[in-house]
């Protein structure tokens, strides 16, 4: 599988839309890997993960070609992961898709509400342009030839947040933004199913601050997740570990974060990063 991170920032992005803090000013001056748009990724440019307000920016500058993508799994409905307004742009006259097949969003019941509102308002389902399918946690779904399993996230429970296991039959990965230390039910599933992950991408909103374990994580807590995944047999010496979804509140620029992450054995994602496993 090839994973590409199009965006690696938290809700406000780095630099934050309206922010004048040191991290944001450093990013403005140095640009490059210090600029972080809102989180989005794709697998083999076939399976999209999340639909943030920076999706259009990823189309403009990141090489994302949405006319070729027909499936998007959504973690939850916070605005940095789901920006329903742009879904309208797939309606008749606004888009001439290459193939007459719809874009389908997959998500939890609560997250589906905002998508379904758009589908109804602009008759997107009727036009066969956009569909939305609710998926249940802990059940494997075949999406674009991948096995996708949603796990419940430790995050704002009002949006029934998920994080995902994705497998292509050869390798498996965890994609987990916007989750604190995994909830018991997720651990139970992992322990009972013993999938060995080639790649694990964890929320590290708080960077190298200490003890963030609810809603989001810091590096020390990501290290606890890593240790537990290894101890239950879900990871081995070949597993690649990476952190993503960063906020300026973590107070580090990219290179300082790389130094901190290396000491825990994690790579640090950046906008445009591609990895194959
Ligand atoms: Zn987020
Ligand atoms: Zn800032
Ligand atoms: Zn969130």
Encode pLDDT of 174-231 as tens digits.
999 999 999 999 999 999 999 999 999 999 999 999 999 999 999 999 999 999 999 9
Q: Ligand 1 centre and the CA of 215: distance in Å?
A: 10
Reading across the β-sheet that carries 162-167, which strands appear in turn?
Answer: 140-143, 146-152, 162-167, 172-176, 199-203, 240-244, 267-268
Domain count, the chain: 1
Ligand in nearest proximity to the CA of 9: 1
Domain extent for 147: 2-276
Residue 180 is part of a domain; what is its CATH number? 3.60.15.10
pLDDT over 80 at 146, yes or no = yes
Write down the pLDDT at residue 98: 75
Q: Ligand 3 centre and the CA of 277: distance in Å?
A: 27
Strand duo 267-268 + 240-244: pairing: parallel
Strand duo 240-244 + 172-176: pairing: unpaired
**Predicted TM-score (pTM) of this structure:** 0.97
Rounded to the nearest angstrom, the gap between the alpha carbon of residue 170 and the centroid of all alpha carbons in its chain is 21
Q: Ligand 3 centre and the CA of 245: distance in Å?
A: 10
Ligand in nearest proximity to the CA of 54: 1
Q: How confident is the model at residue 97 (pLDDT cuts 50, 70, 90)?
A: confident
Q: Ligand 1 centre and the CA of 230: distance in Å?
A: 26
Q: Ligand 2 centre and the CA of 24: distance in Å?
A: 4
E strand spans, 22-78: 40-43, 47-49, 71-73
């Amino acid at each position: 599988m090839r994973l590409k991170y199009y965006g690696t920032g938290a809700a406000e992005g780095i630099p934050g839309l309206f922010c004048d803090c040191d991290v944001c000013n450093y990013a403005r001056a140095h640009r490059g890997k210090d600029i972080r748009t809102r989180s989005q990724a794709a697998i083999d440019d076939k399976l999209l993960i999340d639909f943030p307000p920076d999706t259009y920016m990823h189309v403009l500058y990141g090489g994302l070609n949405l006319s070729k993508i027909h499936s998007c799994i959504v973690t939850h409905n916070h605005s940095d992961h789901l920006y329903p307004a742009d879904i309208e742009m797939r309606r008749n006259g606004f888009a001439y898709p290459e193939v007459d097949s719809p874009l389908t969003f997959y998500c939890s019941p609560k997250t589906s509400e905002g998508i379904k509102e758009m589908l109804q308002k602009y008759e997107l389902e009727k036009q066969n342009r956009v569909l939305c399918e609710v998926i249940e946690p802990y059940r494997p779904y075949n999406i674009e030839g991948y096995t996708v399993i949603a796990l419940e996230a430790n995050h704002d429970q009002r949006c029934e947040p998920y994080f995902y296991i994705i497998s292509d039959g050869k390798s498996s990965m965890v994609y987990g933004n916007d989750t604190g230390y995994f909830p018991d039910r997720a651990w139970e599933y992992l322990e009972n199913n013993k999938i060995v992950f080639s790649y694990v991408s964890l929320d590290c909103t708080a960077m190298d601050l200490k003890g963030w374990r609810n809603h989001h994580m810091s590096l020390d807590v990501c290290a606890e997740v890593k240790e537990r995944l290894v101890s239950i047999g879900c990871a081995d010496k070949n597993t690649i570990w990476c952190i993503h979804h960063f906020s300026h509140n973590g107070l580090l620029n990219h290179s300082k974060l790389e130094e901190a992450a290396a000491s825990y054995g994690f790579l640090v994602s950046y906008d445009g990063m591609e990895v194959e496993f």
